[in-house]
Structure 1
């Protein structure tokens, strides 16, 4: 699987992945009725690097964003977000995207990565991020309004990159 920086021409494929995730309303803190421009502004905001994963046929099956979690004195901690095409979930793509993002963050001098808002009911993601070395360092009680379950917790997850080769 090839993972490369996204190009302007990749946006329609990225949106085709993000839109159903946004409409589900179960994992991203984006309004379920957000239009395409809002989705684009969210995924490709200034300061974010966007990458895409391509299957062997060259189709985009996933994407991630990478940025500094904070500015100034907090800019040494990275943040990332991930999206995988619905028909490709469960095939290890998110794990590959995460691994790639950790390598890119490390290569850019980040000392850690933090996920600010992992929805507690997204059990597969929580389990994957823990497998990738992230720890839950905080719980935000009732911070996410799930469309089916009501108010659920969100986690802050963290992983050090310092001292890794």
Structure 2
């Protein structure tokens, strides 16, 4: 699998699974029903951040976006978000993207990385981030309206780098 920085031409291919994931409403508190252009600023990061794609057999199978968690005096802590095309799940793509982001954050000399809103009922994501060294430092109760599970918490997860 190759992971490389996304280019403008990649966006429509990312959007295909971005929209599926957002419209399913199980993992992100992003708007649903977005058009290609409405969604672009939600995923395609500008410098100093970046968006990357995971490519397998010539297909974009996943993507991650990363950058400073906050501007100004909070810019020494990174953040990131991840998407894996559901047709390619359970192949280690999320783990590889997670490793890429951690290496990127270390190389960029961030002091830590914080995920602001990991849906607590997203067992696969919670398990993966813990396996990669993150800890849950708090949970906002009932902060996410899951379509099947109802109101569930959002974990704040952190790793010191």
Taking structure 1 as the reference length, the TM-score comes to: 0.93
Alignment partner, residue 91 of structure 2: 91
Alignment partner, residue 55 of structure 2: 54
Secondary structure at the residue paired with 2:156?
strand
Q: C-alpha deviations, 1:58-81, integer Å up to 9, x for none?
A: 211100001100112211100000
Superposition map of 1:138-149 within 5 A? 138-149=138-149
Runs of 4 or more consecutive aligned structure 1 residues displaced over 3 Å after TM superposition: 45-48
Structure 2: distance between partners of 1:13 and 1:34: 15
Change (3 A) 1:99 1:70: same
Unmatched segments (≥5 aa) in structure 1? none
Superposition map of 1:123-162 within 5 A? 123-161=123-161
> How many residues end up aligned between the 2 structures?
160
Question: Shift of residue 95 of structure 1?
Answer: 0.2
Contact 2:45–2:51 (CA under 8 A) maintained in structure 1: no
Secondary structure at the residue paired with 1:40?
helix
Unmatched segments (≥5 aa) in structure 2? none
Taking structure 2 as the reference length, the TM-score comes to: 0.95
Superposed CA RMSD in Å reads 1.1
Contact 2:12–2:36 (CA under 8 A) maintained in structure 1: no
